[in-house]
Amino acid sequence: MALDTTGATETLLSVRGLGVAAGDKPILTDISFDLAPCSILSVIGESGSGKTVLARALASWLSAPLRVTGGEIRFRGRDLVADPGHARSLAGREIAYVGGNPAGALDPTMTVGAQLVEKLRAVRPDIPAAEARAKAIRLLEAVHIPSAARRFHEYPFQYSGGMMQRAMIVDALISDPALLIADNITQPLDVTVAAQILKLMRELNHDFSTAILFICSSLPVACDASDEVMVLHEGRVVERQTPAALVARPGHSYTRELIAELPTLWQGGETGAGREIDRNRRAIMSVRGLAKAYEVRARGQAGVSRVQAVRNVDFDVFPGDNFGVVGESGCGKSSLMRLLTGLERPDAGSVFFEGENVAAASPKRLRALRRKFQLVLQDPYGCLPPQSPIGAILEEPLKIHRIGSAAERRDRARAVMAEVGLSDSLYRALPTGLSAGQRQRLNVARAMILEPRLLIMDETLSALDQTEQGKLLDLFDKLQAQHGFTYIFISHDLTMVRQVCSRIAVMYLGETVEVAPNERLFFDPGHPYSRALLSAAPTLEERRYRPEDCLLEGEPPSPIDLPPGCAFASRCPQAFDRCRAENPALRARGDHALAACFLNPDPDIALHETATETPHA
């Protein structure tokens, strides 16, 4: 689309027979492709297929043991492999690179602005400092950093992840490069922020005529972002097509599988909506008016500020439910999890587990209760003791609760290992050798060895790729059928939640803004924020909610010292006067669906009176 007349005649980047190896092991083999000026080419492939290595090779940024074994990378006709000096002179000037981890990308001791200026003047020494500064601020504005002139003087740690990623895009574009290599830039971001970044990238491609090599691991994102998609599989280019053609007629078996397995939001497929749950029974977990604030000392301010991590959280989880809690980073999901499991005590409200208030239980009683609800944590690498064998890790909870003899404990551990699909030979192995998926299975095994009734999964699957996620979800299903578990899934991934959850709570800035059954949330959401999340979710389907109408600008405001009124009002496309004065409570919309938004018709009585009271501030 963006091929102009001069650009169409010559290619900007032309790769021929490129090979890269790590020592003797080939990583990339015979990579050949062309990139026209001003076009966007997506590269997708599974984890380990060599996408990052390709990006680094193109940026002449390979470090030992990686090395180019053959082929050429012609940039405007000159081979960068043969002429490293020339390649170095292009780095950061003509060829810019943005990576997937903006957090550590800039010097923490210098302001973002100073580093943008430094970089521009490093590659373009002829530009005077004042001009560089003006350009940096202009670009920060172009990527929608609020009050850019002030943010220019702030340090990297004062930027949120999304802002930092935008600053890195500015850093890459500030020298007007002809080629931008973007490696997984939306990976660490929340869906609404990622959607903004993608939109921004297209605008920049248009405004600055930069060709973009867009590397990513999600097919929907790749298709959304680009003119053409190139598929990498085991270090080889297996196909290259326009997004529409790729989805309609995938040529390679890997692509076909990828498309076939792709979970959907609206077009049928497997969903968690089908299950029949009796919602007139007593709830297994019932949360009312939960609130928790943390005190933080803010820089340059007198006294302490209160971060309202969790406010007005209300929901019920029924036996056999798969309950989902979704929301963006920082919305209080993990704080909520700590409150649910009694790891922390709330400032207000209650958490009833089978009729008993966890929030008020004595420490001794809490220990006993914890046997019945178990936590499976987020980080597959952080939470396993590396020095103890897998069998011992599994038996530890039994020991703590003084259950069974040593022999019984061993049998129990082996049985659970078999159930989660860990082979018996791993009993004496250390967890260090396990893959991410196996680690997650081990975590699940450890949680279920005490035969709990409720399992709380905090981002349990987010570190796994699509295929491995699917396998674990099947496992969860099987375990549920066998043991009658109830699950609470805490996740930022709408697609996953759509697949497995029967009932879903949407959180924004510590509040549950909507609690609804699966179908209802995806087809008739009752809160503008839910619609925004749906509009931003990566999918190949025709969207029910168009980003143009629903997508948010900016990021959630800081949970410190929130303004009165609806917390969403600052970003809500439909906000009106009342929203800024009064905080809407969760109100029933029929069929067990609740939403906290004034746009919903007033029911006769507010269902949860407790939710209307603001917790003591």
Partner 1 sequence: MFILRFLARRLGQGAIIIFLVSALIFTLLRVVPGDPVRLMVGGMAPDTLVEEIAAEMGLRDPIHVQFGRYMGKVLQGDLGESFVRPASGAAVGGASFDDSTRGERAKVLDLIAETAPMTLQLAVLAMVFALMIGVPIGVWGGLYPGRLPDRLALYTSSLFVSLPNFWLGIVLALLLSVKLNLLPAIGYRGFSYTILPALVLAVEIAPFIIRTLTVSVAGVMGQSFIDIAKVRGLSRNQIVFRHALKNSAVPLLNLLGVQFSMLLGGVLVIEFIFDYPGLGLLTINAVMQRDFPLIQGIAIVTAAVFVLINIAVDLLATAIDPRLDY
Which residues bind to ligand SF4, rule: CB under 6 A? 527-528, 566, 568-569, 572, 574-575, 579, 584, 597-599
In which order are the strands placed within the sheet that holds 95-98?
A: 95-98, 179-183, 211-216, 40-44, 228-233, 236-241
What's the CA dihedral at 450, 455, 460, 466 to 10 degrees? Answer: 110
**Contact between residue 349 and residue 289 where contact means Cβ atoms under 8 Å apart:** yes
Stretch binding partner 1 (CB under 8 A), from 115-123, 396-404, 526-534, 576-584: 115-123
The pair phi, psi for residue 263, each rounded to 5°, is -65, 150
For the bound state, the minimum distance from the C-beta of residue 184 to ligand ATP, rounded and expressed in Å, comes to: 6
Could you say which of ligand ATP, ligand SF4, Mg ion, none residue 528 binds, taking C-beta under 5 to 8 angstroms by partner kind?
ligand SF4
**Contact between residue 376 and residue 444 where contact means Cβ atoms under 8 Å apart:** yes
Residue 241, beta-bridge partner list: 229
Choose between 157 and 523: whose C-beta lies nearer to partner 1: 157
C-alpha 367/C-alpha 199 separation (Å) is 49
The pair phi, psi for residue 523, each rounded to 5°, is -105, -20
For the bound state, the minimum distance from the C-beta of residue 294 to ligand ATP, rounded and expressed in Å, comes to: 34
Choose between 53 and 611: whose C-beta lies nearer to ligand ATP: 53
Choose between 27 and 336: whose C-beta lies nearer to ligand ATP: 27
Choose between 91 and 127: whose C-beta lies nearer to partner 1: 91
Could you say which of partner 1, ligand ATP, ligand SF4, none residue 109 binds, taking C-beta under 5 to 8 angstroms by partner kind?
partner 1
Choose between 231 and 309: whose C-beta lies nearer to Mg ion: 231
For the bound state, the minimum distance from the C-beta of residue 149 to partner 1, rounded and expressed in Å, comes to: 19
Question: Could you tell me the two tokens for 536?
Answer: 């931003």
For the bound state, the minimum distance from the C-beta of residue 26 to ligand ATP, rounded and expressed in Å, comes to: 9
Choose between 53 and 450: whose C-beta lies nearer to ligand ATP: 53
Task: Using the Cα atoms of residue 527, residue 531, residue 533 and residue 539 in order, give the sign of their dihedral.
Answer: positive
Q: Show the beta-strand stretches assigned E in 301-364.
A: 305-317, 322-326, 348-353, 356-357
For the bound state, the minimum distance from the C-beta of residue 336 to Mg ion, rounded and expressed in Å, comes to: 31
Could you say which of ligand SF4, partner 1, Mg ion, none residue 350 binds, taking C-beta under 5 to 8 angstroms by partner kind?
none
- The answer to the question of residue 170 lying near partner 1 (CB under 8 A) is no
Choose between 105 and 463: whose C-beta lies nearer to partner 1: 105
Q: How far is CA 92 from CA 61, 174, 353, in A?
A: 11, 9, 56
Could you say which of ligand SF4, Mg ion, ligand ATP, none residue 53 binds, taking C-beta under 5 to 8 angstroms by partner kind?
ligand ATP
Could you say which of ligand SF4, Mg ion, partner 1, none residue 106 binds, taking C-beta under 5 to 8 angstroms by partner kind?
partner 1
Question: Could you tell me the two tokens for 602?
Answer: 């007033």
C-alpha 280/C-alpha 423 separation (Å) is 41
- The answer to the question of residue 110 lying near partner 1 (CB under 8 A) is yes
- The answer to the question of residue 66 lying near partner 1 (CB under 8 A) is no
Question: Could you tell me the two tokens for 60?
Answer: 């002449």
Tell me the pairing of strands 95-98 and 179-183.
parallel
Helix (H, G, I), strand (E, B) or coil at 295: strand
Choose between 98 and 449: whose C-beta lies nearer to Mg ion: 98
Choose between 204 and 569: whose C-beta lies nearer to ligand SF4: 569
Exactly one of 299, 364, 402, 616 binds partner 1 (CB under 8 A); that residue is 299
- The answer to the question of residue 62 lying near partner 1 (CB under 8 A) is no
- The answer to the question of residue 85 lying near partner 1 (CB under 8 A) is no
For 69-107, letters b (16+ CB in 10 Å) and e give bebbbbbeeeebbeeeeebeebbbbbbbbbbbebeebbe
For the bound state, the minimum distance from the C-beta of residue 290 to ligand SF4, rounded and expressed in Å, comes to: 20
For the bound state, the minimum distance from the C-beta of residue 85 to ligand ATP, rounded and expressed in Å, comes to: 23
Choose between 303 and 590: whose C-beta lies nearer to partner 1: 303
From the number of C-beta atoms within 10 Å of its C-beta (0-12, 13-18, 19+), residue 136 rates as: buried
- The answer to the question of residue 52 lying near Mg ion (CB under 5 A) is yes
- The answer to the question of residue 109 lying near partner 1 (CB under 8 A) is yes
In Å, how far from its chain's centre is CA 201?
19
C-alpha 506/C-alpha 515 separation (Å) is 6
- The answer to the question of residue 303 lying near partner 1 (CB under 8 A) is no
Q: How many residues bind partner 1 (CB under 8 A)?
A: 30
Q: How many CB atoms lie within 10 A of CB 563?
A: 11
- The answer to the question of residue 150 lying near partner 1 (CB under 8 A) is no
- The answer to the question of residue 91 lying near partner 1 (CB under 8 A) is yes
Tell me the pairing of strands 454-458 and 373-376.
parallel
Identify the CA nearest to 314 among candidates 281, 342, 346, 362: 346
Where do contacts with ligand ATP occur on this chain (CB under 6 A)? 22, 27, 45, 47-53, 65-66, 184, 217
Could you say which of partner 1, ligand ATP, ligand SF4, none residue 47 binds, taking C-beta under 5 to 8 angstroms by partner kind?
ligand ATP
**Contact between residue 413 and residue 427 where contact means Cβ atoms under 8 Å apart:** yes
Q: How many residues bind Mg ion (CB under 5 A)?
A: 1
Identify the CA nearest to 277 among candidates 245, 320, 306: 320
Choose between 262 and 572: whose C-beta lies nearer to ligand SF4: 572
For the bound state, the minimum distance from the C-beta of residue 584 to ligand SF4, rounded and expressed in Å, comes to: 5
Could you say which of ligand ATP, partner 1, ligand SF4, none residue 217 binds, taking C-beta under 5 to 8 angstroms by partner kind?
ligand ATP
Identify the CA nearest to 197 among candidates 530, 547, 492, 572: 547
Q: Which residues bind partner 1 (CB under 8 A)?
A: 59, 61, 63, 91-93, 96-97, 99, 101, 104-110, 118-119, 122-123, 155, 157, 171-172, 175, 297, 299-300, 302
Q: Which residues bind Mg ion (CB under 5 A)?
A: 52
